Amino acid sequence: MIKGKTAVVTGSTSGIGLAIARAYAREGANVVINGFGDPAAIEAARAGIEAEFGVKARYSGADMAKGDAVVAMIREAEATFGSVDILVNNAGIQYVAPVEDFPADKWEAIIAINLSSAFYAIHAALPGMKARKWGRIINTASAHALVASPYKSAYVAAKHGIAGLTKSVALEAATFGVTVNAICPGYVWTPLVEKQIPDTMGARGLTREQVINDVLLAAQPTKQFVTVDEVAAFAIFLSGDMAKNITGAILPIDGGWTAA
């Protein structure tokens, strides 16, 4: 089902996105990775995918804050591989501050990268999927697509928006063999989570250990971080034939966080 197809994964030079891209490559898909970071490390990741899994991997440095760059990335992938069959909208950034102190530029950036980039990518990729009568769109949301936390107004707003976008597009694509779902991880140990710890320390007056144990893992009844490989395996399942009737779903993988 996945072998020979093309998957575009945004925000995939590290963390969850890279794990997802590698999982698709392991299943035989050609992949486009995207994101910022050290050029040497990105090239090592790209070349490593090709060497390890025997597929083609391309890198796009498209800025997810710019809609025209997102569309151009999809068009380039279509020109290179002939189609974009699987789209994973994973790009995301975070900033933590009380709403009255939240910088306007941080709000705009989070909404652009975490929400609007998914719209532009879907806008560009969906027509081809509809024409081929097959496609998989997976949006990396968050437990914050279902519940809120203080000091994360922009992130929570964007992830709730992703949930609504997922449902709406799923209905539009339902008769075309295209499924659209959102995976909602709880806290996954990634650079994004690690980088928000100092901000949370400052906002709440806590130590690093208190943030990890009393803020992050306190939300998850299992008291364990979700792993990037668990999220990647979920994406692979949603792309398979056995998941063809799962669409428009907002699916937690959060250690029981949103069960409370």
Residue 235 backbone phi and psi in degrees, to 5? -60, -40
Phi, psi dihedrals of residue 211, rounded to the nearest 5°: -60, -45
Rounded CA gap, 189 and 191, in Å?
Answer: 7
Q: Rounded to 5 degrees, what are φ and ψ at 183?
A: -95, 135
Is 151 known to be catalytic? Answer: no
Q: Which amino acid type is present at position 28?
A: G
User: Contact at 8 Å (CB) between 116 and 165?
Assistant: no
Q: Where are the alpha helices (DSSP H) in 134-187?
A: 153-173
The catalytically annotated residue of 24, 59, 155, 187 is 155
Dist CA 79 CA 159 (whole Å): 31
Residue pair 119/40 in contact (Cβ under 8 Å)? The answer is no
The residue type at 131: A
How many Cβ atoms from other residues are within 10 Å of residue 254's Cβ?
A: 23
Other beta carbons within 10 angstroms of residue 225's beta carbon come to 19
Separation CA 138–CA 29 (nearest Å)? 15
DSSP 245: T
Rg (CA), the chain: 18
Q: Which residues are marked as active site?
A: 155
